[in-house]
């Protein structure tokens, strides 16, 4: 088999698809994702029985569902990671349009499942949260627009991406889903910064976010209630935050022991939004630090590989996906330890949830596709291509 060298990455003529995919894949990131999924199943065995008993199911009903949806998510992740960046972009545009239509239809056909926010479609056998699938598609579309704006005589992609971001954030805030709206704004802000945005513009946008939060506080009872609860120095021990913080405190460094935790019997969202509290109580700070290290390793590894990427679209899209992935994990854990107001956000690949874990598989699959090693060419060739 002959080999050509283009840039710094060898290109092997006639190499089969699967060996080429495996050779160029970031295996360390894949390993971290698999470990996180395994930890999620382990914690599901602890958190599932109380909820299953309450709802009249078999003890490990939710673990079985998580294993099914998680297996589907991993399959989607691996298939997506095999795609070329161009194919990922095309499919992401289609997926983004479909998810946006689904989000716009929520006020008419959606349900809140008694949680005060219309975010889901009830399918009978399961529920669908379209905003989860909107996020990865949005990042790719926004990165495409930002990259196009850098081309000579290119479209006003920065303006279009800003208008798109602002419109989606408003739609999500009306559900109300301020957590997902914040993720959308943060992901776009990171990409805009990497694309070379003026610092003063970013400061101005931060001011707009503060003004928007102030407006929401005075006009949304849902938003104001969560902010007031966060700002209150006294924690009601009968609230979810109260149960979670007590569980984390009781867990200590090594935990109270496998199956010995009590918070899962009190928290209705112990298997989703507050799964890290279950981990802290039964396995202690040790497991929590391992989880944090895995997320940090995924993000830093992705950034390290993206630094070498010379295609603006791939660099921006990969950066946005990695940033959104990390901040979602940070928000989930920050809420559990009361560093942030309650957001109703899952812990990627660890929390139970069909929509969130499948959408996470799509997002990480895209990230793996963008961070695969590929020929970069010479920087002079790229500059000459822009002059033509």
Q: What is the CA radius of gyration of the chain?
A: 22
CA distance 91 to 105: 21
Backbone angles phi, psi at 292, to 5 degrees: -60, -45
Predicted confidence (pLDDT) at residue 70 exceeds the cutoff of 90: yes
Structure tokens at 228: 């007031």
Nearest to 341 by CA among 225, 216, 207: 225
**82, pLDDT greater than 80:** yes
pLDDT tens string 30-59: 999 999 999 999 988 888 888 888 878 888
Q: What integer is the mean pLDDT of 66-76?
A: 95
Answer with the residue of higher pLDDT: 9 or 92.
92
Report the pLDDT averaged over residues 150-174: 89
| Average pLDDT taken over every residue of the chain | 84
- Predicted confidence at residue 218, as pLDDT, reads 75
Check residue 265 and give its pLDDT. 76
Question: What average pLDDT does the segment 190-194 reach?
Answer: 91
Report residue 190's pLDDT band, with 50, 70 and 90 as the boundaries.
Answer: very high
Other Cβ atoms less than 10 A from the Cβ of 213: the count is 15
Q: Residue 79 above 70 pLDDT?
A: yes
Q: What is the pLDDT of residue 236?
A: 59
Query: Tens digits of per-residue pLDDT, 130-153?
Result: 999 999 999 999 999 999 988 888
pLDDT at 232: 67
Q: Where are the beta strands (DSSP E) in the chain?
A: 3-6, 9-12, 121-122, 127-128
Burial category of 121 from C-beta neighbours within 10 Å (exposed 0-12, middle 13-18, buried 19 and up): middle
90-94, 269-273, 342-346, 383-387: which range is least confident on average? 383-387
Q: Ranked by mean pLDDT, which of 81-90, 174-183, 266-275 comes out on top?
A: 81-90
Under the banding of pLDDT at 50, 70 and 90, the label for residue 362 is: very high
Q: What is the mean pLDDT of residues 207-214?
A: 78
Coil/strand/helix, residue 120: strand
Q: What phi-psi label fits residue 14: left (phi over 0), alpha (psi between -120 and 50 degrees) or beta?
A: left
Separation CA 145–CA 233 (nearest Å):
44
Percent of the chain with pLDDT over 90: 42
pLDDT at 95: 95
Per-residue b/e over 337-372, b at no fewer than 16 CB within 10 Å? bbebbbbbbbbbbbbbbbbbbbbbbbbbbbbbbbbb
Give pLDDT, residue 251.
82
The DSSP bridge partners found for residue 3 are 12
CB 328 within 8 Å of CB 336: no
Confidence of residue 325 (pLDDT cuts 50, 70, 90): very high
* 253 has pLDDT over 50: yes
Q: Torsions phi, psi of 285, nearest 5?
A: -60, -25
- Average pLDDT of span 154-178: 89
Which residue, 78, 65, 81, 64, is CA-closest to 34? 78
Give the integer Cα–Cα distance in Å for 213 and 341: 13
Span 1-18, pLDDT tens digits: 344 433 445 555 566 778
DSSP state of 261: -
Torsion of the alpha carbons at 277, 68, 177 and 314, rounded to the nearest 10: 100
């Amino acid at each position: 088999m002959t080999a050509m060298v283009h840039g710094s990455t060898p290109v092997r003529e006639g190499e089969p698809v699967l060996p080429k995919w495996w050779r160029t894949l970031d295996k360390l990131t894949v390993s971290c994702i698999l470990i996180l999924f395994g930890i999620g199943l382990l914690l599901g065995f602890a958190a599932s029985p109380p909820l299953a008993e309450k709802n009249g199911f078999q003890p490990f009903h939710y673990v079985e569902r998580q294993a099914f949806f998680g297996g589907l998510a991993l399959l989607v992740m691996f298939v997506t990671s095999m795609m070329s960046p161009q194919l990922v972009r095309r499919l992401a545009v289609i997926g983004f349009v479909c998810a946006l239509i689904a989000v716009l239809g929520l006020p008419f056909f959606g349900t809140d499942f008694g949680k005060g926010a219309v975010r889901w479609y009830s399918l009978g056998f399961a529920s669908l949260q379209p905003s989860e699938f909107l996020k990865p598609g949005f990042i790719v579309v926004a990165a495409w627009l930002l990259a196009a704006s850098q081309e000579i005589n290119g479209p006003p992609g920065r303006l279009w991406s800003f208008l798109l971001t602002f419109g989606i954030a408003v739609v999500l805030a009306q559900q109300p889903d301020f957590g997902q709206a914040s993720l959308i704004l943060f992901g776009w802000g990171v990409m805009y910064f990497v694309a070379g945005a003026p610092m003063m513009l970013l400061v101005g946008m931060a001011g707009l976010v503060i003004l928007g939060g102030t407006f929401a506080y005075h006009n949304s009872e849902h938003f104001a209630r969560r902010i007031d609860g966060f700002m209150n120095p006294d924690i009601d021990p009968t609230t979810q935050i109260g149960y979670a913080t007590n569980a984390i405190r009781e867990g200590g460094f090594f935990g109270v022991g496998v199956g010995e935790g009590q918070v899962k019997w009190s928290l209705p969202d112990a298997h989703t939004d507050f799964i890290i509290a279950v981990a802290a109580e039964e396995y202690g700070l040790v497991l929590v630090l391992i989880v944090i290290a895995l997320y940090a390793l995924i993000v830093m590894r992705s950034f390290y590989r993206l630094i070498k990427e010379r295609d603006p679209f791939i660099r921006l899209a990969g950066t946005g996906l990695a940033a959104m992935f990390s901040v979602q994990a940070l928000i989930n854990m920050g809420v559990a330890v009361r560093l942030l107001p309650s957001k109703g956000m899952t812990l990627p690949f660890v929390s139970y949830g069909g929509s969130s874990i499948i959408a996470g598989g799509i997002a990480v699959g895209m990230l793996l596709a963008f961070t695969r090693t590929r020929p970069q060419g010479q920087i002079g060739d790229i500059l000459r291509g822009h002059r033509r």
